Structure 1
Amino acid sequence: MVKFDQFINVIHSAVQSANEALMQENLKLLETYFEDADESQEMKASLDEALDSIEKILQQTKPTREVLQQALKSFSGARKALENEDKPGTTKLAKSLRAKTVALQFPEQSSNGITMRNAHVPLISLVPVTMAQVSEVKFKTPLELQVENDELIISFSPTVSESKIENQHTVASIEITITPQASAAGLKALIKGYDNLLRSQIPN
């Protein structure tokens, strides 16, 4: 036997887990349409250069030594924050991504006749993006119901017949429909932006 609210929570958690698994698969689409821009590694290199410069200045005895020591400490902390502790030498910042593109040629009328013009087309504007999600879950089963300490308690009754379900008030059938929240419109806006970029390159 189980409390009714616990029963609902278990079903809800299962649906959430399924959606999270699908979300991880959907995130792999980023590898299809985007590539690493390597900006985070450039940032780390800049910090390394700044640290080297400060260390050289600290070798001199100047009145601003204390201030520079504090600056060195700050830069060291910033660099440490960038490093991935699990993989030394790599950054744990989110990667900057850029859209993968292909060069396609379009005919264009010019004073010299028809010429071919290259347009850099984002793959995300060419290949349809399909993302899966759990849209609806229905759970229906015969349950035995009873109240204990002002709490609704349920138990599964696999052997209960349909006639018994109809004739006994202590047995019920429950149907639960769970619909997840709608996906954010960010992806649509992103694709629209790349579509506009593509249209600006295509000759009229």
Structure 2
Amino acid sequence: MIKFSQLVSAIQNSVEEAAFSVSQENFKTLLSYFHTEKRVSAPESNEPTMHEHPLTPDDFEALVPKSVCIQFPKDDNSTHDVHVPLIALTPINNIQLSEMEIDIDMEIMEKDGDILIGFPSHKKSLFGSSSAHQSANNARVKIKIAPGGKPTGVTTIIEGYEKVLRAQVPN
């Protein structure tokens, strides 16, 4: 027997962990469209204190888009190279948890002001048949994952690359 509050807390922690895992996969997908360059600026003094050294753009990783070069024909039979970021060519599908459904077969009782729950045991007879009506699984979890909309920042980045791409394409 465990406290009902412990079960609810375990479910909440599981949902939070699942949502975090999904967000990490979405981030990994986004980063697959970029190369990273580490930029590090040296502090002015020899003492490595965070408060004395203000952050500069060189303190962060730079994301450089993975690109392909596409040649466009021009009227004079020459070609014009256009550098196209891959993120502007392929759809990015973010996923998100939309719903979690938990179906638990449990016994509930009250003891000393706490609600306790237990999971019924399934006893087998000598002939191998189960005396319980339920299956051997005490819990079934359904997690529904749905496509989510792109975050505003991702949409803005893609629109920026598309604008730069349109400017490169000859008329």
Query: Residues 102, 16 of structure 1: CA spacing in aligned structure 2 closer, same or farther, 3 A cutoff?
Result: same
Please list the CA deviations of residues 103-125 of structure 1 after superposition, one character each: whole Å capped at 9, or x if unmatched: 2112344xxx4542111111111
1:142 equivalenced with 2:105 (yes/no)? yes
Q: Structure 2 length as normaliser, TM-score?
A: 0.65
**What is the aligned partner in structure 2 of residue 185 from structure 1?**
152
CA-atom RMSD, angstroms?
3.5
| Equivalent residue runs for 1:51-90 within 5 Å | 75-77=45-47
Q: Which of 140, 163, 169 is the equivalent residue of 1:196? A: 163
On the 8 A contact 1:121/1:198 being kept in 2, the answer is yes
Alignment TM-score, normalising by the size of structure 1: 0.56
Going by fraction, where is strand more abundant, 1 or 2?
A: 2
- The aligned amino acid for 2:19 is N
Q: Tell me if the contact between 2:104 and 2:140 (Cα under 8 Å) persists in the aligned partners.
A: yes
Equivalent positions of 1:125-164 (< 5 A) are 125-159=88-122, 161=132
Larger Rg: 1
Q: Matched residue pairs, number?
A: 149
* Distance in 2 between residues matched to 1:177 and 1:148, nearest whole Å: 31
Identify the residue that residue 167 of structure 1 maps to in structure 2.
none
TM superposition outliers: structure 1 runs of 4+ over 6 Å: 174-180
Determine the C-alpha separation between the residues in 2 that align with 1:25 and 1:177: 20
- Compared CA separation, residues 102 and 126, structure 1 to 2 (3 A): same
Residue 8 of structure 1 corresponds to 8
Task: Please give the alpha-carbon distance, in whole angstroms, between the structure 1 residues aligned to 2:140 and 2:33.
Answer: 40
Matched, 1:98 2:48: no
Which of the pair is proportionally richer in helix?
Answer: 1
> Is contact 2:97–2:143 with CA below 8 Å preserved after alignment?
no
Is the 1:107–1:115 contact (alpha carbons within 8 Å) kept by the matching residues of 2?
yes
Q: Which amino acid aligns with 1:197?
A: V
Q: What secondary structure is seen at the aligned counterpart in 1 of 2:106?
A: strand
Superposed displacement of residue 133, structure 1: 4.2
**Aligned mates of 2:13, 2:156 — CA distance in 1:** 30
CA-CA distance at 1:16 after TM superposition? 2.4
Call closer, same or farther: CA 1:31–1:195 in 2, change over 3 Å: same
Corresponding residue number in structure 2 for 1:122? 85
Identity fraction in percent: 29
